[in-house]
Structure 1
Amino acid sequence: MKNLKKKFIKFIFKKKILIFGNFTLKSGIKSPYFFNISLFSKGKDLIKLGKFYAYFLIKNNKKFDLLFGIAYKGIPILIATVIALKKYFNINVPYSFNRKEKKKYGEKGEIIGSKIQGNIVIIDDVLTAGTAIKNTIKIIKKNKKTKISNILVALNRQEFTKKNISIKQEIQNNYSCKISSIININDIIKYLKKKNIMKKKLKILLKYKNKYNYKKN
């Protein structure tokens, strides 16, 4: 799979995952665009999405003994990725994911899947304010025998904090773990410029980026 970024951007545009309008993000920021990965709602889409995640992990030599998906959108991505790792790379990796709330009956607990241990890659859809990622890191670090080797998302929106530091850098500094993304908002902007397409949408992205995004991330 050559030119991973380019192919992934073409994929999300084809499936209309990047939508434009008036959106309020979890952080409270008003955004003119939204990356709605839940629109990958068919088996064929998930197979391809999982292949992108799996290929990124292998291509970039990420170490992992277990993949961990963040509820809720990270869960189907997680499952698609572990299947792709087995199908395309013959890597049979265990996985786990969290519940939003602890279950008080049956097997109970807040974790479903394999025991959390070893080098862990956290899987999610988008990096915005990083709230869900921070909460997940706390869950995983309850087990001191684990190490979060990477956090992989499809899109880094490249937002920044009130202290003028990128969300990505804030998390990496505070939790000593690396964040990777298949693409970021700058990649999308560069693609649109090069292709000379969606000019009105490009202006919207550039205006928002200049107001809210951390340029160096």
Structure 2
Amino acid sequence: MTAALQKVADAVAQAVGAKAGVSTAGPITEQDKEDLVLRLHEIQAVKFGEFKLKSGIMSPVYLDLRVIVSYPDVLHKVAEMMWHTVKDAKFDVMCGVPYTALPIATCMSLLHGAPMVMRRKEVKDYGTKKAIEGAFKAGQTCLIVEDLVTSGASVMETVEPLQAEGLKAEGLKVSDVVVLIDREQGGAARMASNKLALYSAFKLSFILDVLVRHKLVTEDVAAKVHSFLAANQTFGPTAAPAAAAPAAAKPKRLSFEQRKVLAKNALGQKLFELMLRKQTNLAVAADVATVEEMLALADKVGPHICVFKTHVDIFDRWDDSIAQKLRALADKHDFMIFEDRKYADIGNTVVSQYAGGIYRIADWSDITNAHLVPGPGIIDGLKSVGLTKGRGLLLLAEMSSKGTLAKGAYTQAVAQAAEENQDFVMGYISQGPASWTWGPGSPGLIHMTPGVQLAAGGDALGQQYNTPTSVIGANGTDVIIVGRGIIKAADPAAAAAEYRAAGWEAYKAALQ
């Protein structure tokens, strides 16, 4: 920009700023940022509640930045904030993404004398038939201006026709994008994968922090928004790696403390609290031959575990007195009982299996699980028995056995069923929720992973073992289920203590 043009632009900026009651002198301060966040909230550009997004997903937060055109002071502040954010970038012209960003780009252009071009959403079949309107020269660089970024799809809709111009003789290059708000759902990583640098005036987490500090939003609402963002990342695993901004592709993992308030199943909430209270995310699989061995094992490992998993149909005898002894041990050592029944029948049948028979599982087991092969009716059947008893259900989304068919579209259907039945479904048996392309699901749902040992490997029957660090850190699970690594140890209590420490350290490391 020439010195003369800059002088004119500065004069315009001062005049417009004075008219809007906004100072344009000096750099943008943290107080300026905070004031703008509060003003955006005041004009309801930032809203909280339940909103259906274009994707069909229900969001606890909605950013309605179209409203700023009705508030000249806000439009001016937004334009100045975004200009300050991208001041170090080199560009010759700007292009606002239609339509919300067009007035922002225009205001930036007027305030700072930066030329604009415009992209047509619909190219006319008459006249010049141009996709890009405005004057630009060969080799010039164009800055993309957008109001906010979620997935980055709308940005790319503008970038692509501009880059197409770059293939022509007159040329246009695009390397930088500026937005007012980054929703932190993978947009920055997608931009980087397309060799674009994203400049954002605000991240949504900053806005939440300001509103919580000013008591305009409760901590519970903020936690719900954070969890929604973490569970609904848009940058998929098939996109090119983001070398320039790798951290944006991986959202910060929520703590059990944050997630317990998001659990819609009462037992799930209690399990989060139990894990925090005992500082353990270890479950022991009691795959032993006799009732006596099972009870003795529960007494030994009880101080170190959050869940004790049983297969009572292995035993040659069962009665109410055995169930009472197991429940007494659960109360003594503060753990939950999980009968690994793996229900897989129609709703009417599982009602009888869960409530009756010689085992009467619903009477003493806090948690049970089920396959979704029969369809969602199995959830309804089990719920009719267990919900009033305060029980919880885990759905088998994935299994640790080699050659399992529980994967892909089936796993995704299980995840959807869990989301729709969170009053009774407390979580999953899963293997790698971090790799689910649709996301790991609501953070109030708990992931438990079997087949864990301190050393990776497998057995002759196809069981695949992973370490606590890999299943928690890399695969994204919450609770490690350990069987042979503890029950076959010379000292099961000592082995449980070792696994407990390994699992909890892996959980803490995953939060960093």
The residue number in structure 1 matching 2:140 is 118
Root mean square deviation, CA, Å: 2.2
Q: In structure 1, what residue type is equivalent to 2:65?
A: I
2:476 aligned partner: none
TM value normalised by structure 2: 0.37
Correspondent of 2:157 among 118, 135, 146 = 135
Q: Secondary structure at the match of 2:34?
A: helix
Tell me how far 1:107 sits from its aligned partner. Answer: 3.5
**8 Å contact 2:69–2:103 — kept in the other structure?**
no
Q: 1:208 maps to which residue?
A: 228
CA offset digits 1:74-120 (Å, max 9, x no partner): 211110111122xxxxxx22101211110123343222222265122
How many residue pairs get aligned? The number is 201
Q: Which amino acid aligns with 2:145?
A: I
Percentage identity across aligned positions?
21
Any runs of at least 4 consecutive aligned residues in structure 1 with deviations exceeding 3 A, and if so which?
A: 192-197
Q: Which amino acid aligns with 2:178?
A: L
Q: For the residues of structure 1 that align with 2:196 and 2:104, how far apart are their CA atoms?
A: 20
Residue by residue over 1:21-57, the C-alpha shift from the partner in whole angstroms, topping out at 9 and shown as x without a partner, is 3323233432121111111123333223222222222
What are the ranges of 5 or more consecutive residues in structure 2 without an aligned counterpart? 1-27, 234-249, 253-512
Are 2:186 and 1:150 equivalent residues in the alignment?
A: no
In structure 2, the partner of 1:64 is 91
Whether contact under 8 Å (1:5, 1:187) holds in the other structure is no
Alpha-carbon contact 1:27-1:129 (below 8 Å) kept: no
RCO comparison, higher one (Cα < 8 Å, 6+): 1
Structure 1 residue 196, shift from structure 2 partner: 4.3
SS in 2 for 1:125: strand
In the alignment, the residues of structure 2 paired with residue 131 and residue 209 of structure 1 have an alpha-carbon distance, to the nearest angstrom, of 17
- Structure 2 matches for 1:41-56, cutoff 5 A? 41-42=69-70, 43-56=72-85
Q: Could you say what secondary structure the match of 2:99 adopts?
A: coil
Does the 8 Å contact 1:65/1:118 carry over to 2?
yes
Computing the radius of gyration from Cα coordinates, the structure with the larger value is 2
Paired residues of 1:19 and 1:35 also in contact (CA < 8 A): yes
CA distance in 2, matches of 1:194, 1:215: 22
Matched AA of 1:76? P
Which whole-Å deviations, capped at 9, do the CAs of 1:164-199 have from their partners, x for residues lacking one?
A: xx23212311x1111111111111222234334421
1:167 to 187, 198, 207: 187
2:116 aligned to 95, 99, 120, which one? 95
> Which residue identity does 2:251 align to in structure 1?
K
In 2, the alpha carbon distance for the partners of 1:44 and 1:8 equals: 10
Aligned to 2:54: 26
Preserved CA contact (<8 Å) 2:82 2:200? no
How far apart in 2 are the matches of 1:130 and 1:63?
Answer: 21
Say if 1:154 and 1:181, in contact at 8 Å, map to a contact too: yes
| Counterpart contact for 1:50–1:77, Cα < 8 Å | yes
